[in-house]
Amino acid sequence: MESNRVFSYEILKSERKRANALFWLFLSGSIALLFQVLFIREDLLNKNIEPFPFWVPPTYFVFNTIYAYILVKFLDYNLREGKFPHLVVRYLGAFVESSIPSVLLLYLGSNLETPILALNSPPELAYFFFIVLSTLRLDMGLAIFIGFVSWAEYLGIVYFLLGQTNPEAVDPMFFSFPIYFGKANIFLVGGFLAAFVSKQIRNSFINSLAAETEKNQIRVLFGQHVSPEVVNTLLHQRDDWNGEEKNVCILFFDIRDFTKFAESQKPTDLIQFLNRLFQDIIVCINVNGGIVNKFLGDGFMAVFGAPISNGSDIHSCTKAAMEIRKCIHDLIEKGEIPSIKFGMGIHSGEVVTGTVGSIDRKEYTVIGDVVNLASRLEQLTKEYGCDVILSEPVASALEPSLVELLGETRVKGKEKLVRVYALK
């Protein structure tokens, strides 16, 4: 599945970050240890103590740096090829990394006069680096495995170095096995804690991925019916959102005598006709910054100014109307659609925009008297014999040369007469 592929890719990216962190850890450790060993060697020589070869610890870190670099390149390859490392490879890598502090402790213990003192040196704390970094593997099993390997190897080293140490040469506290057993248990608990953190990160990512996948599916499916702007508005609105007042421009489009026209058409031919017609005229809406809010069978309602406004919604709406007019005439002339008559009504003003419906089904809608009047104006095109009728607020915002006063008329639902204009 696509979601599984994406999740595997994200795990690889997280693994790559972990490997990169290891690389810089080892590289800085190699440099720091080189200077430190040189300083310690000089101090030991001044005390007539023969130290272990100074080049061994830095060389060990250099090899680890090379290992981390190879790991980074290996993960880069997997990311490019879209491959996921086999589980055995991942556990083998976890075992190798968990054993890095153990090898260094064994080496130090073997070269000290009192071997058990190696367990109080800095490499003992290095186990925590790998336990913490295991969270980036996003795998509970690997985190627990690393904690267990650290626990088992540390106890094994303790048992071995205690056997190599003379009890009389050290303070009894340094020869107490329960103390080291307690330290080892901290490594084991650390592994379980890393597993818990890893699980939380993994679950959080899975939930985020699922939510984003769902949103993408909604955008693909729902976006076939309404504009992307509406889809994004619906996705980001809170459930308790009560709407928003906006100044918009509404355009109603309708095909004249569609019922009579439909009687002579096959249902399939009728659908093909509407699809061909709407295919082009809806582009006129979209390119001018509007959205088709509702399809009304043989017409639609378009909104300019919601959910996004371009600052000149009236001009954009009337421009779209003129382009629709030209588009239909061109289609008729080319013979792509039969000769039809149409009407458009345009009005502008304050509305309330928001989503209405139930939890299972919601719809982005525009509510207000502006919508009702725009619908009434579209119906008046039959009475006045013109294809586009404008309200006074719309006409007053346009150049006088673009409009023609038709007069005042009574509109259903309005007590006062409404002054209407034709768009030339």
pLDDT at 140: 87
**In a 3-state reduction of DSSP, which class is residue 247?**
strand
Q: How far apart are CA 234 and CA 219, in angstroms?
A: 10
In 3D space, the residue among 366, 369, 367 whose CA is nearest the CA of residue 393 turns out to be: 369
HSE toward the beta carbon, residue 101, CA cutoff 13 A: 28
pLDDT at 377: 94
Residue 131 in tokens:
């336990």
Give one word for 403, left, alpha or beta, with left for phi > 0 and alpha for psi -120 to 50: beta
Which helix (H) or strand (E) covers residue 15, if one does? helix 2-46
Q: How far apart are CA 219 and CA 264, in angstroms?
A: 37
| Mean pLDDT value of segment 200-208 | 78
Task: Find out whether 177 and 158 touch, Cβ atoms under 8 Å.
Answer: yes
pLDDT at 2: 47
Task: Find out whether 209 and 3 touch, Cβ atoms under 8 Å.
Answer: yes
Q: Which one is predicted more confidently, 306 or 419? A: 419
Beta strands in 319-398 (DSSP E): 342-357, 362-367, 388-391
Q: Which one is predicted more confidently, 319 or 23? A: 319
**In a 3-state reduction of DSSP, which class is residue 326?**
helix
Least confident of 68-72, 190-194, 238-242, 408-412: 238-242
Task: Find out whether 149 and 98 touch, Cβ atoms under 8 Å.
Answer: yes
Q: How far apart are CA 340 and CA 338, in angstroms?
A: 6
Task: Find out whether 347 and 373 touch, Cβ atoms under 8 Å.
Answer: yes
Q: Is the pTM of this model over 0.95?
A: no
| Chain centre distance of CA 198 | 20
Task: Find out whether 19 and 68 touch, Cβ atoms under 8 Å.
Answer: yes
43 pLDDT above the threshold of 60: no
Q: What is the pLDDT of residues 100-148, one digit of tens each?
A: 888 878 877 777 777 887 787 777 887 888 888 778 777 888 889 988 9
Residue type present at position 338: P
**Mean pLDDT estimate for the chain:** 80
Task: Find out whether 304 and 251 touch, Cβ atoms under 8 Å.
Answer: yes
The alpha carbons of the chain give a radius of gyration, in whole angstroms, of 38
- On the question of a cis peptide bond just before residue 307, with omega within 30 degrees of 0, the verdict is yes
Q: Which one is predicted more confidently, 289 or 42? A: 289
pLDDT at 1: 47
Residue 53's pLDDT band, with cuts at 50, 70 and 90, is low
Q: Which one is predicted more confidently, 321 or 359? A: 321
40 pLDDT above the threshold of 60: no
Residue 54's pLDDT band, with cuts at 50, 70 and 90, is low
273 pLDDT above the threshold of 50: yes
Residue 225's pLDDT band, with cuts at 50, 70 and 90, is very low
Q: What is the 8-class DSSP label of residue 117?
A: G
Angle between helices 177-222 and 228-236 (to 10 degrees): 140
pLDDT at 215: 65
Residue 370 in tokens:
């502006």
